[in-house]
Chains A and B, each alone.
Chain A
Amino acid sequence: GAGVSQSPSNKVTEKGKDVELRCDPISGHTALYWYRQRLGQGLEFLIYFQGNSAPDKSGLPSDRFSAERTGESVSTLTIQRTQQEDSAVYLCASSLQASGYNEQFFGPGTRLTVL
């Protein structure tokens, strides 16, 4: 079946602009996760959803970052007033449920470049 998809694959924006990143999880997966991967570094947890609610927003780096999920499906990560330090690959993942033992399935990522 179809895996996790993300769009756009690449996004170049100017400092101060807002961007929206989209994630389509695997059908039937109730949990959805967002991570950030800076060049040459590991994954940094941003936020997760169980259904449409986000119990853990602790990883969001600032109030410029927000995310929502609708219909227990698509999720959008929004970054307002982008800064150069926001440049990274943003990865989305989904799993059957938000439990610690379910493996997460990752999308290909969105590479964000802020000029």
Chain B
Amino acid sequence: AQSVAQPEDQVNVAEGNPLTVKCTYSVSGNPYLFWYVQYPNRGLQFLLKYITGDNLVKGSYGFEAEFNKSQTSFHLKKPSALVSDSALYFCAVSNGASGGYNKLIFGAGTRLAVHP
């Protein structure tokens, strides 16, 4: 069975500092990994994904994430946080088995608070 863990309910960062939001996963096959962001009273917005290839993927708004197969992690990072980055972040995984649909499983979410 697939699962996603986001070990931190909340991450607090000062504006201008680097940020990391952690995600670990469990899946039987090769993982497809995603990060989404949810701003207040809005739906989820896609940030980036890892399917195959380079372990470091770059996404929207200056975010990036690194796939680490040995640690089964896909941490979200940004070199310099902005107050406007404050939101709820979700990591998600699906099983990259060939063909067909594989359910996307979401983590519980991590609230990022960037302070001026």
The number of residues on chain B lying at the interface, defined by a beta carbon within 8 Å of a beta carbon of chain A, is 26
Given contacts A106-B45, A109-B43, 17 further A-B contacts (CB under 8 A): A31-B101, A33-B104, A41-B109, A42-B108, A43-B90, A45-B105, A50-B101, A55-B101, A91-B43, A99-B100, A99-B101, A100-B102, A101-B49, A101-B96, A106-B43, A106-B44, A108-B42
Contact with B43, one of A4, A48, A100, A103 (Cβ below 8 angstroms): A4
Per-position 1/0 for B88-99, Cβ under 8 A of A: 001000111100
Whether A100 contacts B107 by the Cβ 8 Å rule is no
Q: Give residues of chain B (69-90) contacting chain A, Cβ–Cβ below 8 Å.
A: 90
- Interface pair A103/B101, CB less than 8 Å apart: no
Complex Cα distance, B41 from A41, in Å, reads: 14
Chain B neighbourhood of A41, CB < 8 A: 108-109
A25 in contact (CB, < 8 A): no
Q: Which single residue of chain B is at the shortest CB-CB distance from A59?
A: B103
A104: CB under 8 A from chain B? yes
Structural contact, B43 and A107, CB atoms closer than 8 A: yes
Chain B contacts to A: CB under 8 angstroms: 32, 34, 36, 41-46, 49, 51, 90, 94-97, 100-109
Q: Do A101 and B101 touch (CB < 8 A)?
A: no
A to B CB contacts below 8 Å, 26 in the list: A41-B108, A42-B107, A42-B108, A43-B90, A43-B106, A45-B103, A45-B105, A48-B103, A50-B101, A56-B101, A91-B43, A93-B44, A99-B100, A99-B101, A99-B102, A100-B32, A100-B94, A100-B97, A100-B101, A101-B49, A101-B51, A101-B94, A101-B96, A103-B34, A104-B46, A106-B44
